[in-house]
Chain A
Amino acid sequence: MSGPVRWLSYGATAVLAEVAGPDQAQSLAAYARQAGLTALEIVPGATTVLFDGVADAGALQRALDGWRPGVVADHEGPLVEVPVVFDGPDLAPVAERWDTDEAGVVERLTGTELVSAFCGFAPGFAYLAGLPAELAVPRLATPRPRVPAGSVAMADTWCGIYPSASPGGWRLVGRTDAALWDPDRTDPALLAPGTRVRLRPVSGW
């Protein structure tokens, strides 16, 4: 169990690789896809990569022996700019928590290059990493029954954008009209894992 990956047994057809953090999970998943591994699903998480539909777990683990943190460059995914109107209802409480004003929150969020670490919760909902631990914000104690599609939100150190309207407990700081999810596109998710993301402030539409 030494080395960068801890392998966990996951039923009859899957294995779970545990690594140190989101960037390593994303890197291992990208490495596995480039290596052409035969798995039905390769699913990065916050600190794991799930390989599902695997016929031979031993062969898979050997094929990934060459992976090391950093072997897939952290910043080689495509860069997507997302226009955001920063007028969310939780902008003021986030500013208070960060000990700044609303303009300070916008500056911090737009000045950080975020990376889509993994998707979950809803099709095309990307967990965007990049904010430091001291900027973590707690989820709402009571989730909102309806968060509009396009809401730009934060929870813990993650940023996320709701691709469709749903209940949600993340802090809402803005909104975008970017098409985050379209199953008829070749790339249905705008922010697929590995995508680098810049939030660009706009004044509204």
Chain B
Amino acid sequence: MSVLHVHRAGPLTTVQDLGRVGWAHLGVPRAGALDGPAAALAQRLVGNPPDAALLEVTWGGLEVTSSHAVWVAVTGAPVPVEVDGRAVGHDRVVRLPAGGRLRLGTPERGVRSYVAVAGGIDVTPVLGSRSTDTLAWLGPPRVADGALLPVGLPTGPPAPVDVLRPPAPGPLRLHPGPRADRVEGDVLVRLAATSYVVGEASNRVGLRLDGDPLPLSVRDELPSEGAVLGAVQVPPDGRPVVFLADHPPTGGYPVVAVVDPGDLWCCAQLRPGEPVRFALTPGGGGRTPR
């Protein structure tokens, strides 16, 4: 079995898969790759099933060698990729020879890149998932310099070509949330009319937005209630937080809107300081995720 030797983990690298679903009632966050379509593309390129585990690399900087020759693919935030010092490109499947060194530079845009290895990262699952949850720290520990990561046996051939996802991130489409009435006026219209900027404290738990505060008509804390991925929560300071994969399963601040599941990947790639726009969903109906 192959082993990846991590020489440099970069600012934050974690193991992720589709997440830990079905445990929210016990207080377990979902976790899972933040940019789902990019992770899925990487898995298809190396011939993995969709539920295999891969590496989510935040701000690049990962450097690994493999004990055996393996197929790898790097997707997500576009980042310079080198194998043994030679540029090999992004969004394509690449042969990493035994002992060969895969190196990711710093992303030109976006935040999170995905490194899939044929066979998947074969760490021990916790509650059915190999994802690291950065809120409760369930699952494997964050990848550290010097870590040795087991790789499973490939189950299918690599796919040399694939249809890329739509490249242009658009505004985040909104659905009404259960506590929309806690903001004066039509909260979806207000959100769509406000210019927000991604806050510095954004992470895998939530995308924090700076902008004109939303005026809450009721300021009392709610009794704790369940929250979904993409929930737009408004704390007393009026600055919205979009809940991402490691969000707490219950919360006491009102959820006034929900980002369409098809747009959550954009949240994974927005950098602190970048503008964020919301948009209304025509008719408020659910849309098929891309």
Q: Do A and B bind each other?
A: yes
Q: Report which A residues bind B (CB closer than 8 A).
A: 8-14, 16, 29, 40-50, 52-53, 118-125, 127, 183, 188-189, 192-193
- Given A11-B228, A16-B225, 18 other A-B residues pairs in contact with their CB atoms under 8 A: A8-B179, A9-B176, A11-B176, A11-B260, A11-B286, A12-B175, A12-B286, A14-B258, A29-B25, A40-B22, A41-B22, A48-B223, A50-B24, A50-B227, A118-B25, A120-B251, A183-B138, A193-B25
Cβ contact within 8 Å between B25 and A119: yes
**Residues in A whose Cβ lies below 8 Å from that of B138:** 123, 183
A13-B228, A43-B249 known; A120 vs B27 contact (CB < 8 Å):
yes
User: Is the pair A122, B175 in contact by a Cβ cutoff of 8 Å?
Assistant: no
Interfacial chain A residues near B227, Cβ < 8 Å: 50
Shortest C-beta distance, A157 to chain B (Å), equals 11
**What's the nearest-Cβ distance from chain B to residue A179, in Å?**
14
* B218 contacts partner chain A, Cβ-Cβ < 8 Å: no
Q: Which residue of B lies closest to A184 (CB)?
A: B126
Query: A10, B26: Cβ atoms under 8 Å?
Result: no
Q: List 6 A-B contacts (CB under 8 A).
A: A11-B177, A43-B24, A45-B250, A50-B225, A120-B251, A189-B27
Instruction: Tell me, rounded to whole Å, the shortest Cβ–Cβ distance linking B248 to chain A.
Output: 7
Of B21, B25, B26, B261, which contacts A13 at CB under 8 A? B261
Question: Is B26 within 8 A of A50, CB to CB?
Answer: no
Interfacial residues of chain B within 61-102, with CB under 8 A of chain A in the complex = none
Is the beta-carbon distance between B25 and A47 smaller than 8 angstroms? no
Select from chain B the residue with minimum beta-carbon distance to A119.
B27
Q: For the complex formed, measure the closest distance between the CB of A154 and the CB atoms of chain B, giving whole angstroms.
A: 15
B226 touches A45 (CB 8 A): yes
CA distance A6 to B210 in the complex (A): 33
Q: Please measure, in the bound complex, the distance between the C-alpha atom of A11 and the C-alpha atom of B285, giving whole angstroms.
A: 9
Number of interface residues of B (CB under 8 A): 38
Determine the distance from Cα of A124 to Cα of B27 in the docked complex, in whole angstroms.
6
The closest CB in chain B to the CB of A46 belongs to B223
A48 to B248, CA, bound (A): 16
What is the chain B residue whose CB lies nearest that of A166? B136
The answer to whether B250 and A118 touch across the interface, beta carbons within 8 angstroms, is yes
B231 within 8 Å of A (CB atoms): yes
Kindly name the residue among A13, A49, A192 whose own CB sees the greatest number of chain B CB atoms within 10 A. A13
Beta-carbon contact of A123 and B28 below 8 Å: yes
Residues from chain A with Cβ under 8 Å of B127 in the complex? 183, 188
- Whether A10 contacts B27 by the Cβ 8 Å rule is no
Chain B residues within 8 Å of A43, by CB: 24-25, 226, 249-250
Q: Are A10 and B224 in contact (CB under 8 A)?
A: no
* Interchain CA distance A118-B27 in the complex, whole Å: 8
Q: Are B225 and A45 in contact (CB under 8 A)?
A: yes
From A44, which residue of chain B is reached at the shortest CB distance? B25
Cβ B27 vs Cβ A42 within 8 A:
no
A33 to chain B, nearest CB (A): 9
- Residue numbers in A under 8 Å from B24 (CB-CB): 41, 43, 50, 52
Measured CA separation A192–B24 after assembly (Å): 11
Residues of A within 8 A of B179 (CB): 8
B229 closest partner in A (C-beta): A52
The CA-CA distance from A50 to B261 in the complex, in Å, is 17
Q: A122: which B residues are within 8 A, CB to CB?
A: 27, 136
Closest-by-CB residue of B relative to A187 is B26
* CB-based closest 9 A-B pairs: A11-B258, A50-B226, A46-B223, A12-B286, A43-B226, A120-B250, A45-B225, A8-B178, A119-B27
Q: CA separation between A92 and B136, bound complex, in Å?
A: 31
CA distance A50 to B225 in the complex (A): 7
Interface assignment of B277: CB less than 8 Å from any CB of chain A: no
Does A10 lie within 8 Å of B228, measured CB to CB? Answer: yes
Q: Is B121's CB within 8 Å of the partner chain A?
A: no
Q: Is B219 an interface residue (CB 8 A)?
A: no
Q: Per-residue 0/1 for B174-200: is the Cβ within 8 Å of any A Cβ (1 yes, 0 no)? A: 011111000000000000000000000
Task: For B21, list chain A residues within 8 Å (CB).
Answer: 40-41, 53
Please report the C-alpha to C-alpha distance between residue A9 and residue B175 in the assembled complex, in whole angstroms: 9
